[in-house]
A = this chain, B = another copy of it.
């Protein structure tokens, strides 16, 4: 299998000739690519910018396409480089490696993962499951999409971390940026309070917010949600414009605190205990 019949009488002259001949070819190849690569990138960016001005495509879609096309372009360039490089280099070292079958194996393995990534990525793009700038959850990662690439999708988590996720790791996609979102506030009142009064006050709070333009479907008190261990839990639900649900929830919470304070209703909670020695 491994046969280097006379591995110690190397013809140094011949070796140098080979190195020079193939080295020159490789240098020409590299220079060629160094010219083509930045040129191609500039053309893609320019074309898409013009397209954005002329046509009706949304900015997010243009951004997705630009990042994707640049990514595809990079991979095509790399692919061409590898093919040409092996084309040049094949003659001298080919037989050695081919004998061991290692190159074929490596390409097979590499291609398998790559194709699997590309195919999944292709359907994600085709079905418009995500756009750059969407807030999504995939493969247990949460965040804003930064780039949808041929092989990996980059997501910026809320603590600033950048997650690189190979597309094949993506099964189901949860997109939090498609359509209206629900705002939900649970509030506990004591078993000793008058339940009708509490529901009345919460209804008033909700009415204030129904004029709020963040709400598509004004917040409503839906009733007694649960008998808790320390309190009766009442629930408020509303539908808001996308991405405004957290702010709206915070404002409802503050309004409830003020309304309850006014009517002297206490929210049950574990209290400080000060007992003297």
Contact = CB atoms under 8 A, between A and B. Distances in A.
A86 B2 contact: yes
A17 B2 CA distance: 23
Interface in A6-37: 7-8, 25, 28-29
A3 B172 contact: no
A191 B257 CA distance: 9
Contact of A268 (B2, B195, B267, B272): B272
Nearest to A186: B227
How many copies make up the complex?
A: 7
A69 to B, nearest CB: 16
Interface of A: 1-5, 7-8, 25, 28-29, 78, 82-84, 86-88, 90, 98, 100, 102-107, 109-113, 115-116, 118-120, 122-123, 126-127, 129, 137, 139, 141, 149, 151-152, 156-166, 169, 171-176, 178-182, 184, 186-188, 190-191, 195, 222-225, 227-232, 239, 242, 245, 247, 250-251, 253-254, 257-258, 266-277
A216 B224 CA distance: 22
Contacts of A173: 163-164
Nearest to A173: B164
